[in-house]
């Protein structure tokens, strides 16, 4: 029959239109992917830290006194004992503490006089020199401040009453100086620290005292916690703090007025036992002159309370006044049962299982996620606090959380959420940095706005910078921040310093503030934070020397050497733990703000994922040598710090064991920074090779990787079992290096396979009129199925054709996806190849028997073309280059995603075309829909059964695309906002698609219509 050409034009037009639509869909998907990644960056306004060391100086003599005299009040007596102890710490005769009438005090005494008629208010006081020192204040708080100031100056061997201050009123600049509870109550079990992989963020202070049944609380454990708390309070007041924040809220409540708990519910008896046991413990701080705030996440819940809220309110609607009335009742009860409590601190930005104490059913949910909910919560709590003249401290830490996700750093969001909340009992607490407690962050702009009372959050034990195991002097940074905020906002009235809080307890050094390990290493920051809060114009270098003298040595030369080492510590940290050219940028990606460290995500997990290092390289590439030199410099600085401390005479130290601990910490820092230096150069040079193909870059990367392998082995051998100085976790780094080391081999393998695939397609395109060799017909069907599936016929010359039709696409699919995953990601292979196989099986099984070979040809042909596209990209320096382009090159990503998605969608068009020769359009569409739905249904069910988080974790661990620590710390679903119901939703969508497909397949038309269509189909095939 002569070929007809009059219908060719409509077919061509239709094909071109379909291709155009598919490319348009691909472009839309590409645009959406680009928007999802959302990578952008701007230069960060990083505050300058110019740290210097104070020169050695001679000791100033302490006043020659025999007595410290104060009124007979517990808090003043404690302060007086601090003064007396300061003499003893200097090796001087310790004066007696007396409560003798201060108006008739003996000469040669330090006398604290509380005179309400003095005109001095709050914490103001005067110091007057004479035969002794007279401290005059209008309140007990002022007398305490004066006594602790005198004690500090005596310990520091500086002038107690400088001439410029004699008789002049002075006092702390910031009136609220809060501390956390340090390591009070924290578990110090060596076995827990030895595992090193427990990233739970729970820091409950009462867990060791809990019993599973009556009497609910272990009295001996309470006594231990009380002792630790007393030591914390005494130490904090000595440093200048006047308030403490204690974890707890729900566990102290019975809700008796509401009947939340059923009769006999153990929550009631346990809460009563908690109040009875711990109320006196926390009251000690109040009695010693400190404010006491309880702290809780919201929404705080336990199973009975959650059930009660759902029964009475109908849901956990956090905009509902009825819901908050329940918590108001709880807050009233708290103030009633423990009247010494000064207020409640609330956080809404974190919560969930990571913060839950094992065996404890009190927990929290991240539920206050809208401006309306925040306002409803605050107005309810403030109304209750106002009744009792108490405060509510609201933390703005809401990073990435719903509609209030940028409240922490965005002044506009701050105004939207809190602008209308005006209450004298509201205090807003905000981290000093525009993000978490990292270096290289701008100062937080939200601390410059708002009419609310404000306090600034500081962290002494920097969780992301060694968790207290590394010297890290923050005095200048804290001072810079406070001076800036005080100049910008008159409502700043205090600080909240974290002496231990932040990060996981067990996945880090076994250093517990005031209790275990070398906690003195970061106690400097607690001391300086309080000193700067009292006097923002403080000479930080001199204050550092004061602390060193009090803590380590009274020898001027030794003090000078240690203070110089501390002055160098910030440059060592910022060089060794950060990659400067990247850290200096404020980056946004995936709708989030990645931290400036990022390559260590988080705490001690050294990353190895492509997203992190490709992005870091892209932002640092113009300063790559500088970024690499920064790592070298950090190792040199750490060695210099060690030399300074090693050069001191052990005999001049107050405790020679502290000198040993300091040197151990500096050895650890030098070893760590040497290891990280080699790793930094490895990954940056490898990324440079991926980007440029430079042979020199690849050679440098390989040399650096050899250095890293040696350094890592030494680091892990030396510190792998050290609880105080634990080795960093390089598991993720090794996973990444294992894969990047295969990039070149995968590129060559992809090139070879690509040649074979192109050859197979060329054979199929070569003369379709008659087979040229055994199996040629199979190649031709694959080519036709990929390019013109409506022309497929089922004539197979022999068994070899059938083998070609099935085996060639299957082998290419398998090998190409193995190369794509570095032969290291079976989960990805199972998901992708399983989807291809299931689609093909369902489509072939449902197709008319005469068209099954055509369906196989269509699926196989598209698989070859789709694989050829993938292989072409992999040929360009392997999978590493594929992901480098995906993460950092939007133009290349857009082009690839557009074409790749269009080619993927062409699969459904091709199968539809192959089926049309023996089916109506409706039936063919139904079969394609059924096959696609089966993939969604089966895949969704399997992932749902395994668990989305677990599947994502295994998939990411094998592909090393996103930080390995995401699952271990927060979870992919939480961090990336992926709904956990997604697999179920996909399965439901697949079931619906299957139902629609079956319905379309079962629709029957009249015999004549069907016959007419069938004839037309055959005519189309002949053409």
> Residue 292's beta-bridge partner residues?
244
Beta-carbon contacts of residue 707 (< 8 Å; ≥ 6 apart): 678, 681
Q: Please state, as a whole number, how many other Cβ atoms lie within 10 Å of the Cβ of residue 755.
A: 12
Q: Yes or no: say if 250 and 305 are a contact pair by the CB < 8 Å rule.
A: yes
Q: What is the pLDDT of residue 967?
A: 80
Beta-carbon contacts of residue 805 (< 8 Å; ≥ 6 apart): 778, 781, 782, 796, 853, 856, 857, 860
Q: Yes or no: say if 4 and 1021 are a contact pair by the CB < 8 Å rule.
A: no
Residue 516: name the closest of 527, 526, 524, 505 by CA. Answer: 505
DSSP 133-172: EEEEESSHHHHHHHHHHHHHHHHHTS-SS-GGGBT--B--
Distance, in Å, from the CA atom of 968 to the CA atom of 593, rounded to the nearest integer, reads 19
* Residue written as token pair 């510190």: 719
Beta-carbon contacts of residue 849 (< 8 Å; ≥ 6 apart): none
* Residue written as token pair 């701007």: 42
- Is residue 379 classed as helix, strand or coil in its secondary structure? helix
Q: Yes or no: say if 781 and 801 are a contact pair by the CB < 8 Å rule.
A: yes
Q: Yes or no: say if 256 and 268 are a contact pair by the CB < 8 Å rule.
A: yes
Strand 133-137 relative to strand 125-129, pairing: antiparallel
Per-10-residue mean pLDDT of the chain, 1023 residues long, equals 48 82 91 85 88 88 94 95 96 92 66 95 95 95 97 96 95 97 91 80 84 94 97 98 96 93 92 96 98 94 92 90 96 97 93 63 86 96 97 90 82 93 96 95 96 97 95 97 97 97 87 95 98 97 96 96 97 97 88 86 92 94 96 97 97 96 98 98 97 96 97 96 94 95 96 95 76 78 88 72 90 96 95 94 87 89 95 96 94 94 93 83 90 94 93 93 84 80 94 92 53 38 30
Q: Yes or no: say if 893 and 886 are a contact pair by the CB < 8 Å rule.
A: yes
**b or e along 888-922 (b: 16 or more beta carbons within 10 Å of the residue's beta carbon)?**
bbeebbbebbbbbbbbbbbbbbbbbbbbbbbbbee
Give the number of C-alpha atoms closer than 13 A to the C-alpha of residue 623, restricted to the C-beta side: 14
How far lies 928's CA from each of 813, 857, 909, 992, in Å?
A: 21, 15, 9, 13
DSSP state of 217: B
Distance, in Å, from the CA atom of 784 to the CA atom of 795, rounded to the nearest integer, reads 13
Beta-carbon contacts of residue 886 (< 8 Å; ≥ 6 apart): 893, 896
Distance, in Å, from the CA atom of 123 to the CA atom of 139, rounded to the nearest integer, reads 7
Q: Yes or no: say if 602 and 965 are a contact pair by the CB < 8 Å rule.
A: yes
DSSP 113-127: EE-GGG---TT-EEE
Q: What is the pLDDT of residue 881?
A: 96
DSSP state of 458: E
Q: Please state, as a whole number, how many other Cβ atoms lie within 10 Å of the Cβ of residue 259.
A: 10
Strand order in the sheet with 133-137: 96-98, 67-69, 109-114, 133-137, 125-129
Q: Yes or no: say if 782 and 862 are a contact pair by the CB < 8 Å rule.
A: no
How far lies 244's CA from each of 30, 229, 230, 235, in Å?
A: 52, 10, 12, 12
Q: Yes or no: say if 127 and 103 are a contact pair by the CB < 8 Å rule.
A: no
Q: What is the 3-state secondary structure (H, E, C) of 322-339?
A: HHHHHHHHHHHHHHHHCC
* Residue written as token pair 């300074």: 644
Q: Which run of H or of E encompasses 347?
A: strand 343-347
Distance, in Å, from the CA atom of 340 to the CA atom of 975, rounded to the nearest integer, reads 38
Q: What is the pLDDT of residue 796?
A: 63
Ramachandran angles phi, psi of 916, nearest 5°:
-65, -20
Start-end of H helices in 240-265: none
Q: Which run of H or of E encompasses 831?
A: helix 826-846
Distance, in Å, from the CA atom of 493 to the CA atom of 488, rounded to the nearest integer, reads 12
Distance, in Å, from the CA atom of 726 to the CA atom of 280, rounded to the nearest integer, reads 37
Q: What angle do CA 182, 185, 187 make, to 5 degrees?
A: 105
Q: What is the pLDDT of residue 356?
A: 61
Q: What is the 3-state secondary structure (H, E, C) of 573-620?
A: HHHHCCCHHHHCEEEEECCECCCCCCCECCCCEECCCHHHHHHHHHHH
Distance, in Å, from the CA atom of 839 to the CA atom of 845, rounded to the nearest integer, reads 10
> Residue 343's beta-bridge partner residues?
293, 391
Q: What is the pLDDT of residue 56?
A: 82
Number of residues in the chain: 1023
Distance, in Å, from the CA atom of 284 to the CA atom of 226, rounded to the nearest integer, reads 9
DSSP 675-712: HHHHHHHHHHHHHHHHHH--HHHHHHHHHHHHHHHHHH
Q: What is the pLDDT of residue 975?
A: 75
Q: What is the pLDDT of residue 131?
A: 87
| Token pair recorded at residue 920 | 């109506």
Residue 839: name the closest of 746, 915, 986, 939 by CA. Answer: 939
How far from the centroid of its chain's Cα atoms is residue 622's Cα? Answer: 28
* Residue written as token pair 């009335």: 325
44 burial (CB, 10 Å; 0-12 / 13-18 / 19+) is middle
pTM for this model (two decimals):
0.91
Beta-carbon contacts of residue 283 (< 8 Å; ≥ 6 apart): 292, 338, 340
Q: What is the 3-state secondary structure (H, E, C) of 976-1020?
A: HCCCCCHHHHHHHHHHHHHHHHHHHHHCCCCHHHHHHHHHHHHHH
Q: Please state, as a whole number, how many other Cβ atoms lie within 10 Å of the Cβ of residue 949.
A: 15
Ramachandran angles phi, psi of 498, nearest 5°:
-100, 110
For residue 215, whether the previous peptide bond is cis, meaning omega lies within 30 degrees of 0, is yes
| Token pair recorded at residue 825 | 């990601």
Instruction: Report CA Rg, the chain.
Output: 35
Q: Yes or no: say if 277 and 219 are a contact pair by the CB < 8 Å rule.
A: yes
Reported in sequence order, the residue ranges of 857-961 that DSSP labels E, i.e. its strands, are none
Q: Please state, as a whole number, how many other Cβ atoms lie within 10 Å of the Cβ of residue 325.
A: 16
| Token pair recorded at residue 363 | 């927990």
């Amino acid at each position: 029959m002569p070929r007809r050409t009059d219908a060719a034009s409509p077919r061509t037009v239709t094909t071109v239109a379909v291709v155009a639509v598919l490319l348009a869909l691909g472009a839309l998907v590409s645009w959406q992917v680009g928007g999802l990644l959302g990578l952008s960056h701007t230069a960060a306004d990083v505050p300058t830290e110019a740290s210097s060391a104070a020169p050695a100086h001679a000791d100033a003599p302490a006043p020659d006194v025999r007595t410290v005299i104060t009124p007979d009040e517990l808090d003043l007596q404690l302060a007086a004992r601090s003064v007396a102890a300061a003499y003893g710490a200097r090796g001087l005769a310790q004066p007696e503490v007396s409560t003798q009438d201060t108006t008739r005090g003996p000469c040669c005494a330090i006398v604290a006089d509380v005179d309400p008629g003095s005109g001095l208010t709050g914490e103001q006081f005067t110091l007057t020199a004479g035969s002794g020192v007279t401290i005059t204040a209008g309140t007990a708080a002022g007398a305490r401040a004066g006594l602790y100031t005198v004690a500090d100056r005596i310990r520091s061997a500086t002038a107690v009453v400088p001439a410029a201050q004699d008789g002049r009123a002075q006092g702390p600049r910031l009136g609220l100086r809060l501390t956390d509870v340090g390591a009070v109550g924290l578990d110090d079990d060596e076995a827990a620290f030895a595992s090193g992989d427990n990233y739970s963020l729970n820091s409950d202070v009462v867990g060791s005292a809990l019993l599973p049944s009556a009497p609910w609380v272990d009295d001996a454990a309470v006594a231990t916690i009380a002792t630790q708390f007393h030591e914390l309070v005494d130490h904090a007041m000595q440093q200048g703090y006047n308030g403490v924040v204690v974890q707890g809220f729900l566990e102290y409540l019975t809700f008796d007025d509401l009947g939340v708990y059923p009769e006999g519910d153990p929550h009631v008896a346990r809460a009563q036992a908690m109040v009875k046991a711990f109320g006196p413990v926390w009251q000690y701080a109040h009695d010693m002159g400190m404010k006491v705030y309880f702290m809780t996440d919201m929404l705080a819940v336990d199973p009975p309370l959650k059930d009660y809220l759902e029964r009475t309110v109908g849901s956990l609607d956090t905009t509902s006044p009825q819901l908050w009335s329940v918590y108001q009742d709880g807050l009233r009860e708290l103030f009633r049962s423990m009247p010494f409590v000064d207020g409640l601190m609330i956080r809404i930005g974190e919560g969930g299982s990571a913060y839950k104490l094992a065996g404890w059913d009190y927990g929290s949910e991240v539920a206050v996620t809208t401006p309306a909910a925040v306002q409803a919560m605050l107005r309810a709590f403030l109304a209750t606090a106002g009744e009792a003249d108490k405060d509510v401290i609201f933390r703005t830490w809401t990073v990435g959380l719903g509609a209030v996700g940028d409240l922490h750093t965005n002044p506009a969001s701050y105004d939207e959420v809190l602008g209308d909340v005006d209450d004298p009992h509201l205090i807003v607490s905000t981290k000093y940095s525009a993000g978490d407690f990292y270096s290289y962050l701008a100062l937080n702009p939200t601390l410059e706005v708002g009419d609310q009372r404000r306090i600034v959050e500081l962290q002494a034990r920097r969780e992301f910078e060694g968790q207290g195991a590394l010297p890290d002097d923050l005095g200048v940074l804290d001072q810079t921040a406070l001076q800036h905020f005080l100049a910008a906002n008159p409502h700043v009235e205090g600080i909240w310093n974290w002496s231990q809080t932040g990060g996981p307890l067990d996945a880090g050094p076994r250093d517990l503030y005031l209790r275990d390990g070398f906690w003195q290493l970061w106690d400097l920051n607690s001391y300086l934070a309080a000193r700067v809060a009292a006097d923002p114009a403080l000479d930080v270098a001199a204050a550092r020397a004061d602390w060193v003298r009090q803590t380590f040595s009274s020898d001027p030369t030794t003090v000078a050497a240690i203070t110089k080492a501390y002055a160098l510590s910030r440059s060592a940290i910022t060089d060794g733990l950060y990659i400067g050219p990247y850290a200096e940028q404020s980056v946004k990606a995936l709708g989030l703000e990645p931290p400036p460290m990022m390559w260590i995500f988080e705490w001690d997990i050294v990353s190895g994922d492509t997203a992190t290092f490709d992005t870091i390289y892209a932002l640092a590439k113009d300063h790559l040598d500088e970024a690499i030199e920064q790592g070298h410099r950090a190792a040199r600085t750490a060695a210099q710090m060690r030399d300074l401390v090693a050069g001191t005479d052990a005999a001049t130290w107050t405790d020679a064991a502290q000198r040993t601990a300091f040197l151990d910490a500096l050895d650890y820092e030098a070893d760590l920074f040497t290891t990280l230096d080699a790793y930094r150069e490895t990954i940056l040079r490898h990324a440079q090779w991926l980007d440029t193909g430079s042979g020199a870059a690849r050679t440098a990367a390989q040399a650096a990787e050899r250095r890293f392998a040696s350094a890592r082995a030494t680091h892990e051998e030396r510190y792998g079992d050290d609880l105080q100085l634990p080795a960093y976790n390089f598991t993720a780094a090794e996973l990444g290096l294992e894969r990047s080391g295969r990039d070149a081999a995968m590129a060559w393998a992809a090139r070879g396979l690509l040649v074979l695939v192109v050859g197979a397609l060329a054979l199929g395109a070569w003369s379709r009129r008659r087979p040229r060799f055994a199996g040629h017909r199979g190649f031709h069907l694959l080519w036709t199925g990929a390019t013109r599936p409506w022309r497929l016929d089922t004539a197979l010359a022999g068994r070899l054709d059938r083998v070609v039709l099935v085996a060639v696409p299957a082998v290419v699919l398998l090998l190409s996806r193995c190369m794509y995953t570095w032969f290291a990601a079976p989960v990805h292979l199972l998901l992708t190849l399983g989807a291809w196989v299931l689609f093909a099986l369902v489509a072939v099984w449902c197709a008319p028997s005469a068209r099954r070979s055509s369906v196989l040809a269509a699926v196989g042909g598209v698989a070859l073309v789709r694989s050829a596209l993938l292989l072409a990209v992999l040929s360009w320096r392997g999978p590493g280059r594929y992901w480098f382009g995906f993460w950092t090159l939007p133009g290349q990503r857009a082009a690839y995603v557009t074409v790749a998605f269009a080619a993927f969608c062409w699969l459904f068009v091709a199968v539809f075309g192959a089926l049309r020769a023996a089916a109506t359009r409706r039936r063919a569409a139904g079969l394609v829909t059924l096959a696609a739905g089966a993939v969604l249904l089966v895949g969704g069910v399997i992932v749902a059964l395994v668990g989305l988080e677990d599947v994502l974790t295994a998939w990411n661990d094998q592909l090393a695309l996103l930080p390995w620590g995401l699952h271990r710390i927060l979870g992919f679903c939480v961090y990336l906002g992926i709904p956990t119901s997604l697999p179920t939703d996909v399965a439901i969508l697949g079931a619906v698609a299957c139902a629609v497909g079956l319905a379309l397949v079962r629709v029957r038309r009249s015999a004549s219509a069907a016959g007419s269509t069938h004839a037309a189909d055959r005519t189309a095939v002949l053409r």
